[in-house]
Amino acid sequence: MKKILVILLAFSLLANAFLWSRFKGNRQESSEVKKVDYPFLARRIFAENPNDIIVNFVPLRRELSEYIASQPEKIGVSFEYLPTGLGIGINDRESFFRASLVKVPGVMSAYKLIEEGKLSKDEQLTLEEYHLDSTYGTLWQRGTGATLSVEEAITFTLVESDNTAYEVLNERINGILLADIGKEQNIDDVYDYLDIPRDNEGLTQEITPRNYSSILRSLFFSAYLTYEDSNEVLEILTQTTYDKGISRPLPDDVKVAHKFGIHNIESEEKFAVHSDCGIVYLPLRPYILCVMVASGNQESTSQYMQDISQKIFNFVKAANTAK
């Protein structure tokens, strides 16, 4: 009898070892399984590390809501955890002046024309007097008659938020699109594609944090441009010189592809805004964060953006890590 039990035990151990090896093999092949066996299901649900599926954002929502409610300015926040699509919106449907945030869809329109063969990165653009704008960027220093390529104009526009580069690029794009004088057909086209509404007059002067997040999402999922071009736009956005917003409190090794928008001209106080929107590439846990503040005070608004960014980063990084 004892001999039989020993044999059965040995057989059980061998069977368990075999099953464990098969399980490990299945785990390693999970990326292939999700592509072949379940082509109509979201790949998000096949994540190999369950810690990356964060589902309870209630504590974070409470913390952010209390923080935003305690500030005197109107603050809008849109946060989306990209592995699942879940997120938090606080005043995320409120409209804010777009400022330089509009430069991202403007550049996306340029890439779309490049993909269609209607524009080339090597095409040379010439600066005219009316293009020169010293508010943001350094390109204006080259002066009237200076030339630069479309590719250079794109880089200046996204990295420095250069107004001069955007003006000359914007003019060229709308010329190709045969836009009426004063119309931004390039922005309209991107907004229409992403189902972002315009105001009652058909203008795009304001945008909500929620809607701007859809622009970033379209790049992350390559919904409007090709893989190569979407990736290139996001890579350039990681090189931005602006460091007073959502990226400032984060570790240097965490890349952030973001764009800021500032408008603080005293004579146009109703359009006052400080915003910063981007994708935070926390390993295995990337997320979109868009913060807009209706204020012209850069010191206080920068602090709001940094505080909100820090709270979200700390939560996402630590969530579900305790065993």
Distance CA 116, CA 120 (A): 10
Q: For position 269, what pLDDT does the model report?
A: 73
**What average pLDDT does range 96-122 have in this prediction?**
98
Residue 318 and residue 174 share a domain = no
Interval 217-250: pLDDT, tens: 999 999 999 999 999 999 999 999 999 999 999 9
Percent of the chain surpassing pLDDT 90: 75
Domain's final residue, options 155, 181, 204: 204
Q: How far does Cα 139 stand from its chain's mean position?
A: 25
Q: Number of helices (H) and strands (E) in the chain: give both, helices first.
A: 10, 9
Please compute, for residue 258, the number of CA atoms within 13 A of its CA located in the half-sphere on the CB side: 29
Tally of structural domains, the chain? 2
Q: Which domain holds residue 248?
A: 53-97+209-323
Confirm if 209 and 290 have CB atoms less than 8 A apart.
yes
Percent of the chain surpassing pLDDT 70: 82
Whether residue 257 is predicted with pLDDT greater than 60 in this model: the reply is yes
Domain's final residue, options 140, 173, 204: 204
Stronger pLDDT, 235 or 15, i.e. the higher one:
235
Q: For position 216, what pLDDT does the model report?
A: 97
Alpha-helical runs (H) found in 201-297: 209-220, 227-237
CATH code where residue 271 lies: 3.40.710.10
Whether residue 49 is predicted with pLDDT greater than 70 in this model: the reply is no
